[in-house]
């Protein structure tokens, strides 16, 4: 039925309501049960699929939330680990400094009538012929040129320059360094001089004196530049040349100058100037 060329919407609505009512009556009567079973099967499958998808989605969301929490926890643990490692390094460094100080203290107690000043090495120059280090003690601390510098392992060198709060130490490995020394066992005198290679050389030892590999070399005190009986190094090899007036030996210092950190300045020792006697 058309009115003015358009469908009668009211009539169509009434037909739809009548059809719905009929379907309701047939469903109540059980007539549509076979049809409902056929239609419900794919709908149930579709509903189950949607339920499984919903469960999977919820699980994924939970896992993402848990993953975020795990990442935050891992970040916290990594930060705690970094702090622990820093604290461990600080404790190890403190323990190392303590051990070095104990060794230096033990060394100072073995030397009588000597006064010592502990100093830190703050700069190192061992790249050229001149080999020296800078320490953080100067005239304000009573340091003067010529004072010996040692560690518990032996002689380091002597003060060659001083400022108010720092000093330069000429190492015994410097080519311009010469230390009057002697062999500890035989008491044979000689002189320790530095070399460009950093190895020490024992020279001016009489030919009739015996030098053995492994012998300790100590300061002799001759010349007045160093106090006696400070360890200088250990003989590693002996060289004798025909027609030479003296014999020589290679000596290795027990000190690792590349890792030198703490030293002792013997402030009670004043070098003796013997040059006045050369003019007489």
105 and 146: one domain?
A: no
130 and 264: one domain?
A: yes
Closest among 36, 263, 33, 231 to 143, alpha carbons compared: 263
Number of independent structural domains in the chain: 2
179 and 243: one domain?
A: yes
d(CA 274, CA 224): 8
Burial 74-105 (b: 16+ CB within 10 A, else e): eeeeeeeeeeeeeeeeeeeeeeeeeeeeeebe
125 and 80: one domain?
A: no
158 and 230: one domain?
A: yes
H or E, element range at 55: helix 33-110
83 and 103: one domain?
A: yes
Domain final residue pick, 80, 110, 140: 110
C-alpha distances (whole Å) from 154 to each of 13, 91, 119, 150, 229 are: 114, 27, 15, 6, 10
What is the extent of the structural domain holding 82?
35-110
| CATH code at position 163 | 2.40.10.350
d(CA 209, CA 152): 28
**Per-position DSSP letters for 69-86, written without gaps between them:** HHHHHHHHHHHHHHHHHH
Domain final residue pick, 89, 110, 131: 110
Residue 30 domain-assigned?
no
Domain final residue pick, 60, 92, 110: 110
Residue 44 domain-assigned?
yes
Residue 174 domain-assigned?
yes
50 and 122: one domain?
A: no
Burial of 266 (0-12, 13-18, 19+ CB in 10 A): buried
Could you read off the pLDDT tens digit of each residue along the chain, which spans 280 residues? 444 545 577 777 777 777 776 666 666 766 656 655 555 566 566 666 666 776 676 676 677 677 777 788 788 877 777 777 777 766 666 666 656 666 666 666 556 677 889 999 999 876 666 689 999 999 999 999 999 999 888 899 999 999 999 999 999 999 899 999 999 889 999 999 998 787 899 999 998 889 999 999 999 989 888 988 899 999 999 887 767 788 999 999 989 888 888 899 999 888 877 766 666 5
C-alpha distances (whole Å) from 198 to each of 150, 169, 183 are: 17, 15, 20
263 and 125: one domain?
A: yes
Residue 208 domain-assigned?
yes
103 and 124: one domain?
A: no
Measured in degrees and rounded to the nearest 5, phi and psi for residue 36 equal: -60, -40
178 and 261: one domain?
A: yes
237 and 252: one domain?
A: yes
H or E, element range at 28: helix 9-29
Residue 1 domain-assigned?
no
d(CA 176, CA 167): 18
Residue 18 domain-assigned?
no
Q: What is the predicted pLDDT for the residue at 5? A: 46
233 and 125: one domain?
A: yes
* CB 78, CB 70: distance < 8 Å: no
C-alpha distances (whole Å) from 104 to each of 35, 98, 194 are: 102, 10, 25
What lies within 8 Å, CB to CB, of 113 at 6+ separation is: 268
Residue 58 domain-assigned?
yes
Residue 211 domain-assigned?
yes
């Amino acid at each position: 039925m058309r009115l003015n060329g358009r469908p009668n919407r009211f009539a169509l609505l009434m037909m739809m309501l009548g059809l719905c009512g009929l379907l309701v009556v047939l469903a109540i009567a059980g007539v549509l049960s076979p049809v409902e079973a056929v239609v419900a099967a794919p709908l149930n499958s579709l509903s189950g699929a949607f339920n499984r998808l919903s469960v999977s989605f919820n699980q994924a969301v939970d896992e993402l939330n848990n993953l975020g929490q795990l990442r935050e926890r891992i970040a916290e643990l990594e930060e705690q680990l970094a702090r622990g490692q820093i604290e461990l390094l600080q404790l190890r460094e403190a323990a190392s400094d303590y051990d070095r100080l104990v060794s230096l203290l033990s060394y100072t107690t073995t030397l009588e009538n000597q006064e010592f000043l502990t100093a830190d090495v703050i700069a190192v120059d061992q790249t050229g012929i001149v080999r020296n280090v800078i320490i953080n003690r100067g005239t304000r601390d009573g340091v003067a040129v010529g004072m010996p510098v040692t560690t518990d392992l032996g002689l380091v060198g002597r003060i060659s320059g001083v400022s108010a709060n720092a000093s330069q130490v000429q190492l015994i490995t410097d080519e311009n360094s010469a230390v009057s020394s002697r062999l500890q066992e035989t008491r044979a005198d000689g002189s320790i001089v530095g070399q460009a290679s950093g190895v020490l050389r024992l020279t001016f030892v009489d030919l009739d004196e015996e030098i053995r590999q492994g012998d300790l070399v100590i300061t002799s005190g001759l010349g007045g530049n160093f106090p006696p009986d400070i360890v200088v190094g250990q003989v590693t090899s002996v060289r004798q040349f025909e027609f030479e007036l003296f014999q020589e030996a290679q000596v290795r210092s027990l000190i690792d100058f590349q890792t030198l950190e703490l030293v002792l300045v013997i402030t009670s020792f004043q070098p003796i100037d013997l040059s006045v006697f050369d003019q007489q």
